Amino acid sequence: MAGLVAAKKCITPLVVIKRLSSPEYKAQAAYHKKVVDHYENPRNVGSLDKTSKNVGTGLVGAPACGDVMKLQIEVDDHGKIVDARFKTFGCGSAIASSSLVTEWVKGKSIDEALTIQNTDIAKELCLPPVKLHCSMLAEDAIKAALHDYRLKQKDGKIEAVKASN
Catalytic residues: 65, 134
Do residues 141 and 101 make contact, with C-beta atoms less than 8 angstroms apart? yes
The Cβ-side half-sphere exposure at 73, using a 13 Å CA radius, reads 33
